[in-house]
Each structure stands twice: as structure tokens, then as C-alpha cells.
């Protein structure tokens, strides 16, 4: 396993063919072979931690704490969970056979899909490339990894390190931009796993349809946070600020906007201001715990949202420094429902706050929009929380906190509607990259004639009775 250069576009068909040959040869057929690759991935993350932290710092100025916990540590947790449970996941699942099919036995046998393509985004360039790979390898698939060119340091690190640890006959990295991604999508894969925005998700799905390839789309959307009048406001503010300004707001499950009961709006604003100060001090630009916007284009997009108005005041933050891609933690008050910041996912450190009369109004507001990837509800009332969960739809829900639902190994992570399709993490990841094959086993004796012609009336009566 050597330090391999990034492949040219012309080599992509040969890479896919190599991986298919390896799959057909059964190189990942056994549980031991899958565990071996997972342990190698584990080794890479442990031994190359500093290199990966440096790459993510170069791309996004990620603080080491955030980069380790949300990226390296999360993937290590996924690997550990898979290694512990792989025997059980791979075991056939016995199912009952009704009397009309006895004697016989039935089971569901998980089998790998084949050769899969994993396309990762730039905001969590380690986690969102390697966490799906854990599920793919655990299920016995070979894989092409396409890291994002928008996080070039991490992409280069992956292209360099992965061949040093993983078998290149089983996992290959293809770097590059639109040209390389387009060439990959022209190939026939057995599954495509894409994380990113809905616009590219539609392109991926269209390309996959030409080969009838199944897709998992992990998209995003405007994830709301509902703050009830009975919420613990100080704790709520700290958790909202942490979840929103983690990775400078460039998190697909970050609280995108807040719907707060009007009776506690002012109290929440004061608590958010204190939380931002407690986290990042008087000058967030000098804080080593606060990241940067990934590039100038995204900085310009976010600044344009602020310039477009549609809100009464800026509680904190505002315009930053384009040269260093710094945009401070920003909280907007008195936001109108038709403001520019409410049109699409913000994906940056801007938190709009809208006042509502009650929980029912908040629920109506959420339901009038696309289904989000995440929904957050803050309340001390179980009845209120249950009402929100029952009457809204979202990829996932977290009660009285933010973002943490992503880290629970056995909670499937994925969207619904416009926020995505399919899920992964833990057993859900194994299932995503597996086919659940139905198997019925019948003995050769007895061999009753009831199924065979000629179809006598007594046979018809028996079939009607026992089917």
C-alpha cells in the first residue's frame, strides 16, 4: 500500500473496473476481511490524527477540539461500534413461515451491494467521507471515495493517507472537481451515497437513474429550533449558540432559525448574547475556538443575506473580514418570515430569531415549509415536546439540546422529503449498503401434489382454506 497520486479522469473507468473485479473475487466476503479494513481505517485515524487536524485547520480553521470530536472521534466511534456488532449484523435473520408453506424455513440474508460511490462535502471533510465508508466496508462493498475539492487540504490528505492504510483493490480515492465527479457519475455503481445540497443531489439522482442505481442523499434544509415559554432560557441559549456556531455555522444540522414564544423573546436574546461572549470573548476574531468561512464565495453569499435586511436589529455580530474569511457569530432579532435569511439554508454563523404567539403557531410555521433535516424543541413540558414531535416531520429531533443526535450510534441519521432520503450510522449504515435477500428453504420430501395440475376442486378448497 503506497502513497498514490490522484488519478486522472481517464483512469476512472479502470478504477471502477478494478474495484468490481475485487468485489467479484470475494476479497471482502468474510467478516474477518471486513474487520481487517475497518481496523486499518481505525489505525489511520489514530496514527494520522495530527495530519488530519492540520488539514482541517487549513481548510476551515477548525479548532482541534471541534475537529476531533465531530470528525475523527465520531468516525472512530462508528468503527468501534461496527467491529463490536458486525457478527450480529451479518447473521441471517430467521422469519416465521405460515402453515401453507410448511415444511420449510425462511430467513433474510444480508449481502453487499457491490461497488459503491461516496461523494463527500467540504464542511466536515473527514467525518462525511469516512463515516459512510465504515458502513460500506462493514457490509462488504468496495468503494470509490470522492472528497470535496472545496476542502483541498483534507482532500489531499485523504488521497495520500488512505492508500497507505487501506487495500487499493478495495478502496480508492478520486480527487478533483466537477469534471471528475461527472466522470464518476457516468460509471455504473451499485449504490451512490451523496452528502451535500439539493441542487447537486438532483444531478446525482438523475445520473443514477440512467443505471437504475439506488442513492442515499444526505441533504439539509432549514432546521428549526422551537423555544417554548417554559424552556430553561439560559441553558437553551448556550446550547443553541454552541450548535449554531460550531464550525462557524457550516453544519447541515445546525439550528437554522429560532421560533421563540414572544413572552420570552427578550430574555432569550440577552442569554444568547451572554453565551456568545462566554464562548468567544469580546473579540471572536481572536478566539482560537472559532472557525472561518470556507472561502470568499460563501463569505460573500452570507454577507449578502445580512445586507438584504428583513430584520429589525443585530443582537451581536454582523459584518466580518473578507480577507480572513471571518464572519462573527451573528444573532438577528425581529426577523420577518420573508427575509432573505429565511429563503434557504443559511449554512453559516447567522441565527435569525422570530417571535411566535404559541407552540401551535410554531408548528404551523414549520409545517408550511420543506421538511427539515433536524428539528429542535426546548421545553420543560413533556406534553409540549410530544405535541411538536407528533405534529411535525423532520429527519431527526433533539429535545433540549442541539446537534448531539448525530453522534448516537444506533440512531439512523438521514433526511426526509427535501432534506434527503435514506439514512446511515450504526446498523442503519450497514443496512444502507446491504441488500436484505429473502431465502426460503424447502425439503424435497414430502412433495404433495396440491400445487400441481390438474387443479381439482378439492385442491381449490384447500388452498382457499389455508392461504
Beta-bridged to residue 116, according to DSSP, are 143, 191
Catalytic center residues? 218, 252
Enumerate domains of the chain plus CATH numbers. 9-219+417-439 (3.40.605.10), 224-412 (3.40.309.10)
Q: Which of 385, 305, 393, 387 is nearest to 348 (CA)?
A: 305
CA distance 13 to 187: 7
pLDDT one-digit tens code per residue, 309-319? 999 999 999 98
**How far is residue 364's CA from residue 361's CA, in Å, rounded to a whole number?**
5
Q: How confident is the model over 221-257, as pLDDT tens digits? A: 999 999 999 999 999 999 999 999 999 999 999 999 9
Rounded distance, CA 21 to CA 7, Å? 18
**Residue 447 CA: distances (Å) to CA of 421, 442, 444, 450, 451:** 45, 10, 6, 9, 9
> Which residues face 195 on adjacent strands?
218
Q: Which three cell numbers stand for residue 408?
A: 448516537
pTM (two decimals): 0.95
User: What's the confidence (pLDDT) of residue 4?
Assistant: 52
CA-nearest of 273, 27, 60 to 148 is: 60
Environment class of 18 (CB within 10 Å of its CB; exposed 0-12, middle 13-18, buried 19+): middle
Residues of the chain where predicted confidence (pLDDT) is lower than 70: 1-7
Confidence at residue 8, expressed as pLDDT on a 0 to 100 scale? 78
Amino acid at each position: 500500500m503506497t502513497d498514490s497520486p490522484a488519478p486522472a479522469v481517464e483512469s476512472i473507468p479502470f478504477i471502477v473496473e478494478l474495484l468490481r473485479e475485487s468485489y467479484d473475487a470475494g476479497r471482502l466476503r468474510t467478516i474477518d476481511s471486513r474487520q481487517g479494513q475497518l481496523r486499518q481505517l481505525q489505525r489511520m485515524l489514530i496514527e494520522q490524527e495530527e495530519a488530519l487536524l492540520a488539514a482541517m485547520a487549513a481548510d476551515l480553521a477548525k479548532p482541534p477540539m471541534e475537529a476531533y470530536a465531530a470528525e475523527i472521534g465520531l468516525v472512530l466511534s462508528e468503527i468501534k461500534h461496527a467491529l463490536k456488532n458486525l457478527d450480529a449484523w451479518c447473521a441471517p435473520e430467521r422469519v416465521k413461515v405460515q402453515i401453507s408453506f410448511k415444511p420449510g424455513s425462511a430467513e433474510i440474508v444480508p449481502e453487499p451491494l457491490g461497488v459503491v460511490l461516496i461523494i463527500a462535502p467540504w464542511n466536515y471533510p473527514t467525518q462525511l467521507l469516512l463515516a459512510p465508508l465504515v458502513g460500506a466496508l462493514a457490509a462488504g462493498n468496495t468503494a470509490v471515495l470522492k472528497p470535496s475539492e472545496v476542502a483541498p487540504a483534507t482532500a489531499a490528505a485523504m488521497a495520500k493517507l488512505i492508500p497507505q492504510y487501506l487495500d487499493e483493490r478495495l478502496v480508492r480515492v478520486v480527487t478533483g472537481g466537477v469534471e471528475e465527479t461527472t466522470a464518476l457519475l457516468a460509471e455504473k455503481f451499485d449504490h451512490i451515497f451523496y452528502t451535500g445540497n439539493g441542487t447537486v443531489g438532483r444531478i446525482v439522482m438523475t445520473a443514477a437513474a440512467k443505471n437504475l442505481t439506488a442513492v442515499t442523499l444526505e441533504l439539509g434544509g432549514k432546521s428549526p429550533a422551537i423555544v417554548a415559554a417554559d424552556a430553561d432560557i439560559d441553558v437553551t441559549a448556550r446550547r443553541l449558540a454552541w450548535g449554531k456556531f460550531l464550525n462557524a455555522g457550516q453544519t447541515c444540522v445546525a439550528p437554522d432559525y429560532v421560533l421563540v414564544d414572544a413572552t420570552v423573546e427578550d430574555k432569550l436574546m440577552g442569554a444568547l448574547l451572554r453565551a456568545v461572549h462566554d464562548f468567544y470573548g469580546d473579540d471572536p476574531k481572536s478566539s482560537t475556538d472559532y472557525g472561518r468561512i470556507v472561502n470568499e464565495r460563501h463569505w460573500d453569499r452570507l454577507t449578502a443575506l445580512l445586507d438584504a435586511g428583513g430584520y429589525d436589529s443585530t443582537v451581536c455580530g454582523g459584518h466580518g473580514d473578507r480577507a480572513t474569511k471571518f464572519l462573527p457569530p451573528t444573532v438577528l432579532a425581529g426577523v420577518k418570515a420573508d427575509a432573505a435569511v429565511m429563503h434557504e439554508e443559511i449554512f453559516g454563523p447567522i441565527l435569525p430569531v422570530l417571535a411566535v404567539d404559541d407552540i401551535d403557531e410554531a408548528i404551523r410555521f414549520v409545517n408550511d415549509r420543506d421538511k427539515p433535516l433536524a428539528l429542535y424543541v426546548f421545553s420543560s413540558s413533556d406534553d409540549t415536546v410530544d405535541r411538536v414531535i407528533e405534529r411535525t416531520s423532520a429527519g431527526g429531533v433533539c429535545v433540549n439540546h442541539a446537534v448531539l443526535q448525530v453522534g448516537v450510534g444506533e440512531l439512523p441519521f438521514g433526511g426526509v422529503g427535501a432534506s434527503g432520503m435514506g439514512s446511515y450510522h450504526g446498523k442503519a449504515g450497514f443496512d444502507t449498503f446491504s441488500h436484505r435477500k429473502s431465502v426460503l428453504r424447502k425439503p424435497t420430501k414430502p412433495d404433495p401434489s396440491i400445487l400441481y395440475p390438474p387443479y381439482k376442486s378439492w385442491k381449490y378448497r384447500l388452498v382457499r382454506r389455508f392461504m
